[in-house]
Structure 1
Amino acid sequence: MARFNHNKHHSSTTKLVFLISCAGLLGAALIADFLWASSSSAAPAYLSIASSWALEKSGILVVQNVTHNIAHHKREDVKDRKERIPERFLPATFADLPAPELQWEEMPSAPVPRLDGAAIQIKNLLYVFAGYGTLDYVHSHVDIYNFTSNTWGGRFDMPKEMGHSHLGVVTDGRYIYVVSGQYGPQCRGPTARTFVLDTETKKWRSMLPLPAPRYAPATQLWRGRLHVMGGSKENRHTPGLEHWSIAVKDGKALEKQWRTETPIPRGGPHRACVVVNDQLFVIGGQEGDFMAKPGSPIFKCSRRLEVVYADVYMLDDEKKWKVLPPMPKPNSHIECAWVIVNNSIIITGGTTEKHPVNKRMILVGEVFKFHLDSLTWSVIGKLPFRVKTTLAGFWDGWLYFTSGQRDRGPDNPQPRKVIGDMWRTKLRL
């Protein structure tokens, strides 16, 4: 009996020690888990609820990524961390705007893909100039699209001294004036050179250069003068406010120097510049741009702060700038993305404000209309995808666009592939 009581006491003691050990291990595990959760690698998972609440209160739309919200807070190896896609924080004002669907039809693609090219329409022909093929390769020729036959053809070379991207272009119906621009790939320097193309003979001639080189200046013919405004200065980033003009006729300058005009209220490149009803409009654009990396032998592009805006200005009879209603959203890279239809300016695509977290570019997928009678904006449709630096044309009721850089997919508005695609839709306004 005595032996039995001793075994019973020993068994109870053993159980007690076991329970205390388990409790200790459990406590240690909880402390370790708490410390791990407090580390920088796990913090986003624990802070996502609070972050989402704060962003929603500030008017920012939070698009959660399912793969990021892991149910069990396990450590990830290096490979998992690299493959994980972070949450996308998209400000609601920068998201795609509500718009009706348009029926788009894919047409023959351009002979080459191009980004930051330029285009001019004369009757049923769309002249497409230069542009990047890749960041390391630029085109130095012109392709022509025939809207009547819906075919490409008639390729010819540009002058060797002419810029390859960020050009200012305008036509009087026969002669195309090509002003300044970037010479070479990556983020090389600008040129002040100006050229004129006779579209009937396909002959080029040089013209008086600009007073200073510019990237992507707003360019138009207005009241017998070639006007060049804004753009970026020689470092590719500083906005230019200068406004110059020179009298021209039949592809020739009638003066020996450029005249200084009223500076534009806000400088910068990549804006639409339109003359209609004897009024000159400058629409959208940005301040700042990529710059060449200091010391890079190939002038490698380096990201800088850019501010995209929705501003619209009009030059009146007194040579004073008037501020008009802004675009529905900030928009840039639209210098050749516009056409005139039924007393309205139609603009396709572009770029808007940067992603607020990673500062990546966000592309635009809407078609905008500025009605000149009421001076009001509306969104009249969606493009087949988001795209910047489109080259637009309008013929026989059809709105066309080609080239540019498109998005990464329906759920990712960041730029990816440079394209030569041509699309059209029947436009009914």
Structure 2
Amino acid sequence: MARPSSKHASLKLVLICLALLGFALIADYIWASSSRFSYSLSIASNWAPPYHPDTSIPVTTKPDSANPTKGEAAKGGKDVNPGRALSATFADLPAPELTWKKMTTAPVPRLDGAAIQIKNLLFVFAGYGTIDSVHSHVDVYNFTDNTWGGRFDMPKEMAHSHLGMATDGRYIYVVTGQYGPQCRGPTAHTFVLDTETRQWQDMPPLPVPRYAPATQLWRGRLHVMGGSMENRHTPALEHWSLAVKDGKALEKEWRSEIPIPRGGPHRACIVVDDRLYVIGGQEGDFMAKPGSPIFKCSRRNEVVYSDVYMLDDDMKWKVLPSMPKPDSHIEFAWVVVNNSIVIVGGTTDKHPQTKKMVLNGEVFQFSLRLQQWSVIGKLPFRVKTTLVGYWDGWLYFTSGQRDKGPDDPSPKKVIGEMWRTKLKLIL
């Protein structure tokens, strides 16, 4: 049999090499595509997994001799100081250590709930238990004896998260918000609660529904500003007000006011010395995934900001010094103490590499006299949507969603823990 020529053998060898090279390139492309797809899934959502009471996140603490036992911690026993190590990688700001004591945990964990303090009582409303479940009741914390009790139901038509809320010292006005779990739609319903009788009454609905609008009582009117529009993502600029007195609306319709300079949800809105302040917040938020029968939350781009605005006597917005860092999810994370605004936790700009949400672990002070911000302490862990109160020299916070650990500021577990620290402010 004749042997093939060397020319044909060389051609055959070249073809084999080209085939092998092509196979290698195709395999490499498939692997790279798979990796990118897996990475995109890993950053698509920052919601916590379903809450399991027996699951805990370790917190670095003092030596065992300084730690309370499990039973003592539940009763608010000995002091603990988690001593969380800050990492510049995640943009934590240097802050003084605070000694935190763990008090009695709330009856349920809450994310995006709401809270109003009246005297020695903290009324804690609604919120997510998990992304698939929401609360429709109010729990009450008594600062005098540090106990939870007095649960009562909310109206069936009332929103379960992203509420606007304000009080005159007896009546609590509740405006709009999201109705249901995941990323369901908002409602325009508005209610008022008499905290002495625990009775609810209807109020005129907001002109259109909103998510987490800045809400406050100012000069006899209930002001509602900004928030997110009905798609949950687009920032709203509208500003409405309604005359109210002693838990009753004095008008049948909301009045249009000067628009807020920058829209968006999750901001602190505070009245001090007859001045209305709007602090922090964000533009953009999670949206319902198109076509999802359960309105499954889908991540969208958010821009967190540090802006501070004040509405003056001429009903014009004035720009004030910005916060030390961008901060959102702080609508009920504030108290006013000794002519200062104190803000606890929140969220800041997303991580530059992972693109995940980054939680804040600082306590900020804004001196109204100096018109100046400072960082006055750090929390036992980073946490957003805290519900904050102040009583007898103690700063309290409860609920929210905490970080994954000292070295990972992205959100994980929804909590119901209550913590407090002695607060000493330099004016």
TM-score (norm 2): 0.79
Selected match of 1:396 from 385, 392, 396: 392
5+ residue gaps, structure 2: 1-20, 33-85
Q: Once the two structures are aligned, what percentage of the paired residues are identical? A: 80
Does 2:197 align with 1:208? no
Match of 1:198 in 2: 194
Q: Indicate yes or no: 2:268 matched with 1:272.
A: yes
CA distance in 2: counterparts of 1:390 and 1:231, whole angstroms: 18
Contact 1:350 / 1:388 at 8 angstroms: preserved in 2?
A: yes
* Contact 1:94-1:352 at 8 Å conserved across structures: no
The alignment status of 1:293 with 2:289, answered yes or no, reads: yes
SS in structure 1 of the partner of residue 398 of structure 2:
strand
Shift of 1:324: 0.4
Determine whether 1:143 maps to 2:143: no
* Cross-structure match for 1:188: 184
Q: Is the 8 A contact 2:365 2:375 kept in 1?
A: yes
Other-structure match for 1:244 = 240
The answer to whether the Cα contact below 8 Å between 1:118 and 1:130 also exists between their aligned partners in 2 is yes
Partner of 1:128: 124
- Looking at structure 2, the residues matched to 420 and 92 of structure 1 have their Cα atoms a distance apart, in angstroms, of 28
Supply the distance in 1 between the matched residues of 2:331 and 2:192 (Cα, whole angstroms).
19
Structure 1 segments (4+ residues) deviating >2 Å: 39-42, 90-94
1:341 aligned to 330, 337, 341, which one?
337
Q: Which of 270, 278, 285 in structure 2 is aligned with 1:282?
A: 278
Instruction: State the Cα distance separating 1:95 from its structure 2 match.
Output: 1.1
Give deviations 1:325-350, integer Å, cap 9, x for gaps: 00000000000000001000000000
2:354 aligned residue: 358
Instruction: Give the SS at the match of 1:161.
Output: coil
2:401–2:411 Cα contact (<8 Å) kept: yes
> Relative contact order, CA 8 A, sep 6+: which one is greater?
2
**Contact residue 94 and residue 329 of structure 1 kept, 8 A:** no
For residue 91 of structure 1, report the CA deviation from its aligned partner: 10
Q: Does 1:326 align with 2:335?
A: no
Whether the aligned pair in 1 keeps the contact of 2:90 and 2:409 (CA below 8 Å) is no
Whether contact under 8 Å (1:91, 1:356) holds in the other structure is no
For residues 94 and 206 of structure 2, the distance between their equivalents in structure 1, rounded to whole angstroms, comes to 42
Kept in 2: contact 1:93–1:329 (CA 8 A)? no
Specify the code of the residue in structure 2 equivalent to 1:344: S
Q: CA deviation at 1:359?
A: 1.6
Q: Which of 380, 383, 390 lines up with 1:387 in the alignment?
A: 383
Query: 2:104 aligned with 1:108, yes or no?
Result: yes
**2-side partners of 1:206 and 1:149: how far apart?**
33
The letter of the residue matching 2:255 is R
Q: Which moved more, 1:92-101 or 1:399-408?
A: 92-101
Equivalent in the alignment of 2:370: 374
Residues 168 and 219 in structure 1, CA contact (< 8 A), matched pair in contact too? yes
In structure 2, relative to structure 1, the CA distance for the partners of 1:302 and 1:278 (3 Å cut) is same
Tell me the residue number matched to 1:426.
422
Instruction: Please give the alpha-carbon distance, in whole angstroms, between the structure 1 residues aligned to 2:88 and 2:421.
Output: 28
Tell me the CA shift for residue 357 of structure 1: 2.5
Q: For residue 54 of structure 1, what is the aligned residue in structure 2?
A: none
Report the equivalent of 2:299: 303
CA contact under 8 A between 2:87 and 2:407: conserved in structure 1? Answer: no
TM-score of the aligned structures, taking structure 1 as reference length: 0.79
CA distance in 1, matches of 2:87, 2:101: 31
**How many residue pairs are counted as aligned between the two chains?**
347
Report deviation, 1:358. Answer: 2.5
Contact 2:226–2:260, Cα closer than 8 Å, also in 1: yes
Q: Deviations over 1:354-412 (max 9, x none)?
A: 11223210000000000000110000000000000000000000000000000000010
Match of 2:162 in 1: 166
Whole-Å separation in 2 of the counterparts to 1:339 and 1:91: 27
Deviation at 1:94, TM superposition (A): 5.2
**Please, what is the CA RMSD of the aligned residues?**
1.7
